Amino acid sequence: MREELTLEYAKQLDAGDELKAFRERFYLQPGTIYLDGNSLGLMSKDAEQAALQVLNDWKTLGIEGWMDAEQPWFYLAEELGRMQAELVGAKPEEVVVTGSTTINLHNLVATFFAPQGRRNKILADELNFPSDIYALQSQLLLKGLDPAEHLVQVKSRDGRMIDEADIIAAMTDEIALVVLPAVLYRSGQLLDIEKLTAAAHERGILIGFDCCHSIGAVPHQFSRHVVDFAFWCNYKYVNGGPGSAAGLYVNERHFGKRPGLTGWFGYRKDKQFDMVHEFEGAPSAGAWQIGTTHLLSTAPILGSLRIFHEAGIERLRAKSLRQTEYFMQLVDELLPASLGFALGNPRAADRRGGHISLEHPEAVRICKALKARGIVPDFRAPNVVRLAPVALYNTFEEIWQTVQALKEIIENKEYEKFELGRNVVA
């Protein structure tokens, strides 16, 4: 066997990893290889401490915590926005941590979708996560438009990926708004955000991106590319905890525009407690906040972002690409076609996100067999095993062990011990 296919080689890669020390700051369960960080990231000790600090502030300060806490609660959403801006290449005032992914999408579409004349349609894609499509359908219905006619979904040529040329071709003079995923949740395809944004703007169309599967794994340059808006969750690669507060970005050229859904916490901070009924939005992305910051689901993000600041998103991206490249190499060499596996993600480094998409007709039972071995994957219907080596806490040795397990599960027919059909939560 060639050296690069051996366990010893994987251990050598780990020994030379400049980010390896960050693994010790996460809670890793003994005997478990966790490769589902693209669905829910692991808890870090930093996130735990930040959450405990907020609980202690609440216990000892009560309402005074809004201004007197170690990190004043009143400004926490904006402070986290400033911290997260470096992950998406935005100016500090263009990002705020607030709400949930779908609530933020509703607010942004309510703001930027302004149908006029022939320009009365929204462009999306047929491979997007269902929640985004539901929200877009809802926003069309609220404006009295039929989603069957006014929601245009670009077709995939192979059921895995979307061709940017097809997206651009669909940017007709009937399109008022484009909403796309930065990374497709099944295949891990990374779209060319700069190219698509330029094409949309050349045609007088506003464009926004769902970054749930890229934030914390892929660096972006939203300000430089003049992306109009973006939104994301913080519980995947950002490791903010289950149901943690989400984030959004609005380009500064849109500051001063009234958000589609306004609320008290979007008011300018220095006047918020004047309690007047005329809305005066914050002169920043903070205007797109609706309700009071959810402290207990926001606090862990503070600890997590401190880790990202130390590690650096560019270094994390470089390691992530090395890990997914190594994963693919092992799949190619150790999982022959006769075993039924196929890679469904892009191979080019500039085209893939943070996970690999391993296809197999028995994917659902393979996932169950992996879990029985202490390896946590992610199943996506109908035939995808998603595997996400997270740069902050996964090792090259774990990747090697996982590929060996996949080989043995098929060769020994271990998957046959398990029932067909996904679990309620897949």
Catalytic residues: 129, 210, 235-236, 386
Q: Is 131 annotated as a binding residue?
A: yes
The alpha carbon dihedral of 214, 109, 195, 184 has a sign of positive
Q: Is 400 annotated as a binding residue?
A: no
Q: Is 213 annotated as a binding residue?
A: yes
Q: Is 389 annotated as a binding residue?
A: no
Q: Is 346 annotated as a binding residue?
A: no
239 Cβ contact list (under 8 Å, min separation 6): 26, 37, 41, 42, 43, 44, 47, 216, 300, 304, 307, 392
Q: Is 197 annotated as a binding residue?
A: no
The alpha carbon dihedral of 265, 210, 322, 87 has a sign of negative
Nearest to 84 by CA among 288, 313, 314: 313
Q: How many CB atoms lie within 10 A of CB 27?
A: 12
Q: How many CB atoms lie within 10 A of CB 332?
A: 13
291 Cβ contact list (under 8 Å, min separation 6): 99, 263, 264, 265
Cα 186 to Cα 65, 120, 122, 388: the distances in Å are 42, 29, 22, 12
Q: Is 265 annotated as a binding residue?
A: no
Q: Is 57 annotated as a binding residue?
A: no
Q: Do 185 and 39 touch, CB atoms closer than 8 A?
A: no
Q: Is 111 annotated as a binding residue?
A: no
Q: Is 163 annotated as a binding residue?
A: no
208 Cβ contact list (under 8 Å, min separation 6): 108, 109, 112, 177, 178, 179, 180, 227, 228, 229, 230, 231
Q: Is 134 annotated as a binding residue?
A: no
Annotated binding site: 101-102, 129-132, 210, 213, 235, 264, 292
Annotated binding site for pyridoxal 5'-phosphate: 101-102, 129-132, 210, 213, 235, 264, 292
